[in-house]
Structure 1
Amino acid sequence: MARDFDGTYQPNAKARKQQEKDQRRMEYRRAIESYCDQRQLLRDLVDYPELQELTVWQASAATSPKNAQQAR
C-alpha cells in the first residue's frame, strides 16, 4: 500500500485501473437497471390509458429513489 506523507492512501496503477473498471461496470449495470425499470413502467402504464400522456422521464423522475431522498 502506497501512502503519501500525510497518511492518505494512494492506490498504485493496477489498483486504480481495477477501481476504474469497477466504476464503469457499475455505471453500466445501473443503466441497464434503469432501462429495465422504464420498460416495466411502460408495460404497467398500458393498462391505464389516462396515464399514457405521461412520458417515461416524468414517471421515472417521480418514482426515482434519488428524488425520494431529496424530498426528505
Structure 2
Amino acid sequence: MARYVDGSQAQGNSAARTKRQQEDQRRMEFRRAIESYAEQRRLLQEIGDDAQLNVWQTVSVDVRQSARPAS
C-alpha cells in the first residue's frame, strides 16, 4: 500500500539530514584538531626531550659556575 508523503515531511527530513551532516562535519573537524594536537605533542616530546635535556644541562652548568662562592 502506497503511503502519501506531503511536502512538509520531505522538507523536514531534508532539514534533519542537513543538520546531521553539519553536526558530523563539526565533530570530524574537532576530532581532527584533537588528533593533530596529540600528534604535535608526541613529536615535540620525541624531539624535545633531547633539546630540553641539552638546554637544562647547559643552564645547570652555568648556574653552578656562577653560584660558586668568591674566594
The two structures have a TM-score, normalised by structure 1, of 0.51
| Cα deviation digits, residues 10-31 of structure 1 (max 9, x gap) | x811101100011001101110
Partner Cα distance (2:50, 2:20) in 1: 46
Partner Cα distance (1:13, 1:35) in 2: 33
Correspondent of 1:36 among 39, 43, 49: 39
The two structures have a TM-score, normalised by structure 2, of 0.51
RMSD between aligned residues = 1.7
Correspondent of 1:24 among 23, 27, 32: 27
Correspondent of 1:14 among 1, 13, 17: 17
Pairing 1:60-71 to 2, within 5 Å after superposition: none
**Which one-letter code corresponds to 1:44 in the other structure?**
I
Identity of aligned residues (%): 22
Hey, which of these two has a bigger chunk of strand by percent?
A: 1
Matched residue count: 41
| Cα deviation digits, residues 33-68 of structure 1 (max 9, x gap) | 1000000011111212036xxxxxxxxxxxxxxxxx
Which is bigger in relative contact order (C-alpha 8 A, separation at least 6)?
Answer: 1
Structure 2: gaps spanning 5 or more residues = 1-13, 57-71
